[in-house]
């Protein structure tokens, strides 16, 4: 159980039970919402829900269980109406109320390292280019952040200590409370006076932790929320608050807390707290070669049987596709009805690969995806594309892709010198795709995890001066290869897509591709 931080209020058993059930209902509703969001972006949705909400949910359930035991024991001993103090439910409620005001939450009750590990700054939990857990070494000194929001750039600590308890702590440490020492005004910012105060220790640990973590080139901003302290009433308390602010910590005082009745958790609030990442996509999506291959591959469109000519990667892709259907699970929900563009260099690479290695159906699919025939309507292209797949396509799916003619150097000319240096670490055609999306500020879709990892690490080390120039990118959890044709002399079997579909053996995906 966490310390109650001096939160001593009297509650009846009925009030505590009601408070616990309301919090449980809200947290469970939010967990369900978050599960729907992450199921669209990761094969590990349940694990992601547990990592994000699990610590808060466990804290609540443990407190409810503890209180039920205390209440039952008290009711047996004294059947009359009882009051209880020292409960952590008011703290959990204050934390949750603050969370409902936050946007883009990535974690609750997250432990972070206070100091450097191996003399290196740490990647903060949150969204860099793709989500990063940002876990600290077990051997490191840690502090806990109650809410990590704004995709990781805001750390919130909720503190329920009262003004009375803070003054008591100060008196215990020898402070002369209430004495007006005008000569000490110049030293109000000094931290030495506050080092032993629990509230100051907490704030300093958070400030130290934020100083060694980096998220999209910046250090997280720390917010300390004081739910039961008023500012401007006691000079000694104001000195402590100023000392905390001098650490670089934002301080919010909420006085005696809110006496308003709890408000039902709305879908709008949950969407603000944890929006779908697809809502941040640009209207036009920039597609790289790895996603083009997935749109074309027989692995993604048919029931493929293992072939003698398959190498290990193809066998792995086959096994993965049997479990996670790439198109209806990941690609279609992300693309929906967005217009898609692709650079000429990426298209040339795709055509070379498919024309060299692809099956006849993969070649035919490529001609539809990249069609440049002005005499063929979009409706006809979509119809033929659908007939070559066991999956339906989303309503409004836009084929063919629009090919952007140009060279990498042309797009790089519009980018800062630092970006050009970063892109030197990436090979073509991926470089051309990233450069175009970066220059045009388009969301780039890719399955190239190696390139994304390299890009993230390089950008983080450029520091805060480069924090506003990050690209808009989306990494799919898996990639797909072509089924391809065997080398001469090796046996193969044809892929019978049309027969499979016509015979009624169409796979019903466990996921439904919803219209946006």
How many C-beta atoms lie closer than 10 Å to residue 487's C-beta?
Answer: 8
385 and 301 in a common domain = yes
197 and 299 in a common domain = no
346 and 234 in a common domain = no
> How high is the pLDDT of residue 506?
36
Query: SS3 letters for 349-394?
Result: HHHHHHHHHCCHHHHHHHHHHCCCCCCCCHHHHHHHHHHCCCCCCC
161: phi then psi, degrees, rounded to nearest 5: -60, 145
Largest CA distance in the chain: 96
> How high is the pLDDT of residue 211?
93
> Number of structural domains, the chain?
2
216 and 329 in a common domain = no
Of 244, 273, 302, the residue at which a domain comes to its end is 273
429 and 463 in a common domain = yes
For the four alpha carbons of 459, 460, 461 and 462, in that order, the dihedral sign comes to positive
pLDDT, the chain, mean: 84
401 assigned to some structural domain: yes
Three-state secondary structure call for residue 203: helix
430 and 396 in a common domain = yes
206 assigned to some structural domain: yes
404 assigned to some structural domain: yes
Of 227, 250, 273, the residue at which a domain comes to its end is 273
Closest C-alpha to 375, from 400, 352, 354: 400
Q: How far is CA 224 from CA 93, 254, 257, in A?
A: 16, 11, 14
Place of tokens 């997935």: 294
Closest C-alpha to 393, from 323, 339, 336, 342: 336
Residues 138-144: contacts with CB within 8 Å, 24+ apart?
140/113, 140/114, 140/115, 141/113, 141/114, 141/115, 142/111, 142/112, 142/113, 142/114, 142/209, 143/111, 143/112, 143/114, 143/202, 143/205, 143/206, 143/209, 144/109, 144/110, 144/111, 144/112
Best mean pLDDT range from 133-137, 182-186, 447-451: 447-451
347 and 289 in a common domain = yes
pLDDT tens for each residue of 370-413 = 999 999 999 999 999 999 999 999 999 999 999 998 777 777 77
Helix (H), strand (E) counts: the chain = 20, 16
Q: Residues of 35-62 as b/e, b for ≥16 C-beta within 10 angstroms?
A: bebbbbbebebeebbebbbebbbebbee
Structural domain boundaries enclosing 241:
85-126+139-173+193-273
With 60 as the cut, is the pLDDT of residue 288 above it?
A: yes
325 assigned to some structural domain: yes
326 and 306 in a common domain = yes
288 and 269 in a common domain = no
> How high is the pLDDT of residue 76?
65
With 60 as the cut, is the pLDDT of residue 495 above it?
A: no
Three-state secondary structure call for residue 215: strand
**Mean pLDDT (whole number) for 321-347:** 94
**Exposed, middle or buried by CB within 10 Å (0-12, 13-18, 19+), for 320?**
middle
With 50 as the cut, is the pLDDT of residue 3 above it?
A: no
Place of tokens 């990118």: 473
31 assigned to some structural domain: no
16 assigned to some structural domain: no
pLDDT band at 496 (very low <50, low <70, confident <90, very high): very low
110 assigned to some structural domain: yes
- CATH number for the domain that contains residue 101: 3.40.1350
Closest C-alpha to 448, from 466, 427, 464, 463: 427
Closest C-alpha to 303, from 394, 390, 211, 403: 390
Three-state secondary structure call for residue 80: coil
Tokens of 370: 């990249």
Tokens of 179: 């004495």
> How high is the pLDDT of residue 502?
40
443 and 379 in a common domain = yes
pLDDT band at 277 (very low <50, low <70, confident <90, very high): very high
Instruction: Quote the CA–CA distance of 362 and 483 in Å, as a whole number.
Output: 8
Instruction: Quote the CA–CA distance of 103 and 93 in Å, as a whole number.
Output: 18
Is-contact 274 33, C-beta < 8 A?
Answer: yes
318 and 215 in a common domain = no
395 and 367 in a common domain = yes
How many C-beta atoms lie closer than 10 Å to residue 395's C-beta?
Answer: 11
Cα angle, residue 246 at apex, residues 242 and 252 outer, rounded to 5°: 55
Of 216, 249, 273, the residue at which a domain comes to its end is 273
309 assigned to some structural domain: yes
> How high is the pLDDT of residue 82?
52
pLDDT band at 260 (very low <50, low <70, confident <90, very high): low
Is-contact 501 387, C-beta < 8 A?
Answer: yes
């Amino acid at each position: 159980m966490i310390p109650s931080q001096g939160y001593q209020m009297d509650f009846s058993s009925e009030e505590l039970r009601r408070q616990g059930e309301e919090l449980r209902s809200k947290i469970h509703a939010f967990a369900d919402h978050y599960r729907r969001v992450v199921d669209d972006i990761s094969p590990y949705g349940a694990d992601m829900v547990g990592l994000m909400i699990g610590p808060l949910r466990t804290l609540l359930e443990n407190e409810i269980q503890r209180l039920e035991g205390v209440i039952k024991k008290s009711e047996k001993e004294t059947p009359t109406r009882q009051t209880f103090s020292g409960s952590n439910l008011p703290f959990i409620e204050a934390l949750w109320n603050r969370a409902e005001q936050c946007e883009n939450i990535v974690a609750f009750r997250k432990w972070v390292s206070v100091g450097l590990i191996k003399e290196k700054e740490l990647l903060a939990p949150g969204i860099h280019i793709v989500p990063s857990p940002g876990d600290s070494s077990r051997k490191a000194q840690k502090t806990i952040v109650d809410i990590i929001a704004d995709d990781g750039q805001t750390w919130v600590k909720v503190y329920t200590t009262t003004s009375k308890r803070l003054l008591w702590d100060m008196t215990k440490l020898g402070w002369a409370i209430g004495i007006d020492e005008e000569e000490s005004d110049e030293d109000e910012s000094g931290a030495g006076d506050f080092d032993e105060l629990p509230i100051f220790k907490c704030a300093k640990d958070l400030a130290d932790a934020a100083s060694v973590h980096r998220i999209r080139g910046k250090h997280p901003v720390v917010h300390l929320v004081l739910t039961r302290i008023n500012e401007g009433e006691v000079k000694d308390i104001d000195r402590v608050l100023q000392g905390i602010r001098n650490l670089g910590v934002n301080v919010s005082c909420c006085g005696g807390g809110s006496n308003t009745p709890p408000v039902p958790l709305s879908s709008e609030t949950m969407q603000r707290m944890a929006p779908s990442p697809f809502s941040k996509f640009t209207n036009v999506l920039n597609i790289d070669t790895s996603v083009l291959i997935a749109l074309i591959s027989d692995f993604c469109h048919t029931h493929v049987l293992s072939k003698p000519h398959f190498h290990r990667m193809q066998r792995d892709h086959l096994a993965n596709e049997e479990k996670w259907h790439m198109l209806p699970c990941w690609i279609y929900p992300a693309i929906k009805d967005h217009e898609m563009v692709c650079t000429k260099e990426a298209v040339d690479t795709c055509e070379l690969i498919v024309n060299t290695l692809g099956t006849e159906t993969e070649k035919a699919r490529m001609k539809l995806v990249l069609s440049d025939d002005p005499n063929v309507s979009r409706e006809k292209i979509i119809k033929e594309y659908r007939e070559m797949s066991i999956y339906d396509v989303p309503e409004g799916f836009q084929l063919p892709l629009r090919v952007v003619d140009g060279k990498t150097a042309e797009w790089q000319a519009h980018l800062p010198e630092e970006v050009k240096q970063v892109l030197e670490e990436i090979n073509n055609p991926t470089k051309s795709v990233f450069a175009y999306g970066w220059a045009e500020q388009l969301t780039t879709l890719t399955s190239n995890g190696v390139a994304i990892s390299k890009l993230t690490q390089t950008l983080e080390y450029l520091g805060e001066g480069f924090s506003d120039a990050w690209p808009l990118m989306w990494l799919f959890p898996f990639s797909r290869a072509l089924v391809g044709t065997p080398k001469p002399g090796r046996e193969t079997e044809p892929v019978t897509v049309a027969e499979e579909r016509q015979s009624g053996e169409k796979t019903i995906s466990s996921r439904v591709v919803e219209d946006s």
